[in-house]
A = this chain, B = another copy of it.
């Protein structure tokens, strides 16, 4: 790793320097594992104890946090500063542009001169790979696809035919874009396949995790909106449109023909039924099952999904159900006794 002075790093992240600008920083690590030459970070007061014990040479920290005079770079947005510094000490691996001799590129495909096509990658007929794009090993780009400028398809990514990937998109290993949507008609004898002839469009600055599946539309397009980030093992059904800047956490599944807004958060293992609309900025809690439209800005949890406030209390109340059943039975018995004594009984024992 290249060494840098603390002053240089402060300038790089636009922060205020506290301490010796010539202090040499040789790496970046978490508070617990930082050594005496490392820069580290503390983002919130509750980590100050750990920070005090850390061997780090200097800290990135928000203004106002009392570091006891330790060398520091003060920034309003520590995480953005951390991201910048990480790239200094852990630069992206450099790749040599060009087509690896073992790759297979169809004659009718067009690969930019400064794109990278790695070992055993395939670019099929009429597909276009733009400048700076990287196809890692064993990537399959099917016929009539586009891979935009600077996009990275990690090893074993599959794009089936007519998938369009925008600029600066990252797709992690093993993800499949453009497999057939799940559409059949039962004709009384068998499930007959409805041809899935639409496509998948992934807009600019999207990131897609590992082993994700995004199905092609029956007709038209399945769309992943600009800047949206998708975690591992997520399923996106055919004809679903996901808006911009949305977050979809691991193992969530969205069925077909959904409309997911912009700035939405779907937590881990969420399920969204088909044809559901989730409004802009809605937040769906982990493992929730959503079968009805969700208004913009709503928070939902549970299965079936409930509004956040009610939902939290309702789910917490489940553990009290056995006591509740017992209490209602007891109340029923006391009611029976009172009614008998007063000579008026409806003759039923609720919950009995």
Contacts and interface: CB of A to CB of B under 8 A. Distances in A.
A273 B289 contact: no
A251 B250 contact: no
A339 B342 CA distance: 12
Given A211-B211, A287-B303, A306-B318, A176 B176 contact: no
Contacts of A245: 186, 190-191
Interface bracket on A: 35 or more
A292 to B, nearest CB: 12
Interface string A300-321: 0011101000110111111111
Interface in A172-202: 172-174, 176, 179-180, 182, 184-187, 190-195, 197
B253 A251 contact: yes
Contact of A184 (B229, B317, B338): B229
Given A219-B30, A338-B342, A350-B327, A271 B289 contact: no
A283 interface: no
A195 B90 contact: yes
Contact of A314 (B209, B227, B249, B318): B318
B351 A323 contact: yes
Interface in A134-175: 136-138, 140, 142-143, 154-156, 158, 160-161, 170, 172-174
A155 B140 CA distance: 7
A116 interface: no
A166 to B, nearest CB: 14
Given A154-B179, A182-B249, A314-B321, 16 more contacts: A29-B219, A33-B219, A86-B195, A86-B219, A90-B195, A156-B176, A173-B176, A176-B210, A235-B251, A269-B271, A304-B315, A314-B320, A317-B325, A320-B325, A327-B328, A330-B350
